[in-house]
């Protein structure tokens, strides 16, 4: 061995030691970076998994609420439909009650001896009547009844008027209009 080899040997050992130290530090740094990346990856995966499971729970809740709302919506529609139909039936019954009351009043308007031939409901309160009688006294009774109604002495009718009166073959036919109270 020469002296040069001897001089290089310690320097080479120092270099080798520094190289080994540097490799250890690089390995430690790489382990640290890999650990940080591993922890970050596990954290991101954990957050993703947590978010996904929470999203799935919310989707399930949304489905349940949607089904309940759909059922409730159909019940609301059915309820509104029933309410509307009940209102229509109520109005119809109210009208029929008024009509039946009006028909009853009209059928009892004339005393015996005067025949009610037919009548028409012109509107809610106005009725046209056609009648006949064989007796002139009964025609006088009809005129008296119209006067009494127009004076306000009748509890069922507000006003009355005689339209036409005719005599054929000793039969008096007449038409009149009355207005209900």
- Bridge partners of 130? 118, 175
Residue 158 lies in a domain: yes
Residue 51 lies in a domain: no
Q: Which helix (H) or strand (E) holds 122?
A: none
Beta strands in 37-156 (DSSP E): 115-121, 126-133
Give the CATH number for residue 117.
3.30.1360.100
CA pair distance 59, 51, nearest whole angstrom = 12
Record the tokens describing residue 144, joined without a space: 């008296």
Domain boundaries, position 123: 108-180
Residue 112 lies in a domain: yes
CA pair distance 157, 179, nearest whole angstrom = 6
pLDDT truncated to tens, each residue of the chain (181 aa)? 444 544 555 667 777 888 888 999 999 999 999 999 999 999 999 999 999 999 999 999 999 988 888 877 777 777 787 778 778 777 766 665 566 777 777 777 888 888 888 887 777 778 888 888 888 888 888 888 889 889 888 888 888 998 888 888 888 899 999 888 7
Residue 96 lies in a domain: no
Backbone angles phi, psi at 180, to 5 degrees: -75, 155
Residue 25 lies in a domain: no
CA pair distance 68, 77, nearest whole angstrom = 14
Q: Specify burial of residue 157 (Cβ count, 10 A radius: 0-12, 13-18, 19+).
A: buried
pTM over 0.85, yes/no = no
Residue 64 lies in a domain: no
> Cβ(103)–Cβ(127) under 8 Å?
no
Backbone angles phi, psi at 155, to 5 degrees: -80, -15
Residue 75 lies in a domain: no
Residue 43 lies in a domain: no
Domain count, the chain: 1
């Amino acid at each position: 061995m020469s002296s040069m080899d001897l001089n290089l040997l310690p320097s080479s050992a120092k270099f080798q030691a520094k190289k080994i130290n540097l490799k250890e530090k690089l390995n430690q740094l790489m382990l640290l970076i890999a650990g940080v990346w591993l922890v970050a990856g596990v954290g991101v995966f954990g957050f993703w998994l947590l978010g996904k499971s929470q999203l799935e729970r919310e989707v399930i809740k949304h489905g349940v609420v949607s089904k309940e709302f759909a059922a409730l919506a159909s019940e609301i529609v059915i309820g509104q439909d029933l309410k509307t139909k009940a209102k229509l039936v109520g109005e119809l019954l109210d009208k029929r009650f008024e009509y039946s009351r009006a028909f009853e009043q009209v059928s009892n308007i004339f005393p015996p001896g005067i025949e009610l031939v037919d009548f028409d409901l012109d509107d809610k309160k106005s009725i046209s009547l056609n009648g006949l009688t064989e007796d002139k006294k009964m025609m006088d009774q009809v005129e008296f009844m119209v006067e009494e109604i127009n004076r306000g002495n009748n509890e069922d009718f507000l006003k009355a008027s005689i339209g036409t009166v005719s005599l054929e073959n000793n039969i008096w036919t007449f038409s009149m209009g009355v207005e209900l109270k």
